[in-house]
Copies of this chain bind each other. A is one copy, B any other.
Amino acid sequence: MKTANVSTSTGPSDRTREVPGPTNPLKILDSLAVVSTYRHGKEICGQGTLAENWFCVISGAARRYVIRLDGRRQIIDLLLPGDFFGFTASPVCDFGVEAVNDGTIVASYSRRRAELLADSDPHLAREIRQATFEALSRLQCQLLIVGRITALEKVGSFILEMASRLPRGHHNSVALPVSRYDIADYLSVSVETVSRSLTDLKHRGVIKLSGTRTVEIINKEALEDGESLACNSTQAGTRYRAVA
């Protein structure tokens, strides 16, 4: 079902330049960078294609996802400016990546050439390592969010994570870069539940919504510990048994 691979970078309306973007933290890789611009929903990296490139978001946002056998989509990473992706243990991509918004700019690097460059440049090797550690950290953070119990906690944690990764606006407003559907597939809950949780948080006075995608955090503590969000917070503490 997947079309041709992306490495041609001549996609519809995708521009390719040899000049690296402004927010790329790995200056050493700039000589290999191929920068492309994608529109809303455009495929950056196809599930099932050969993993021949590494990528870095310059501006905009991208979603890494997997389509399950039952047709459901699971987003397994939200990529924001500065985030690297495309790291795989196998030679094949077991995920797809799409641009979230129009004008998303992504730098791609030939994996083979990047690794050759890293072989002769320990500093670059360390920076690549750091980038993979950060990808690991993002995934771990998402696992902790998805692993939460109630949908209210999941949505609350999601807002907090976005707030920590995105630049803040006035007060504590956060501009969510994705739709409710994307949030739903990121948290693996239904769209309706995401919407209900947001209005619930709004009614509780924890957040304020100015426009559908701008969240203002009123009560950060309530979001942080999901306890105060529980209807009947019966102090379910005795869960962890310290082993001697």
Contact = CB atoms under 8 A, between A and B. Distances in A.
Contacts of A134: 89
Contacts of A71: 236-241
B132 A129 contact: yes
B98 A224 contact: no
A113 interface: no
A144 interface: yes
Interface in A80-118: 87-90, 94-95, 98, 115, 118
Point out which of A42, A70, A139, A237 has the most chain B C-beta atoms below 10 A from its C-beta: A70
A106 to B, nearest CB: 17
Nearest to A141: B94
A149 B185 CA distance: 12
A68 B122 CA distance: 37
A67 interface: yes
B70 A237 contact: yes
A87 B138 CA distance: 13
A74 B144 contact: yes
Given A69-B224, A239-B70, A240-B67, A125 B118 contact: yes
A222 to B, nearest CB: 12
Nearest to A115: B126
Contacts of A133: 87-89, 132
Nearest to A119: B122
A4 interface: no
A115 B137 CA distance: 19
Contacts of A236: 70-72
Given A139-B136, A143-B142, A73 B118 contact: no
8 contacts: A67-B240, A69-B224, A72-B236, A76-B144, A98-B243, A115-B129, A135-B136, A146-B146
Interface of A: 40-42, 66-74, 76, 87-90, 94-95, 98, 115, 118-120, 122, 125-126, 128-130, 132-137, 139-140, 142-144, 146-149, 188, 224-227, 236-241, 243-244
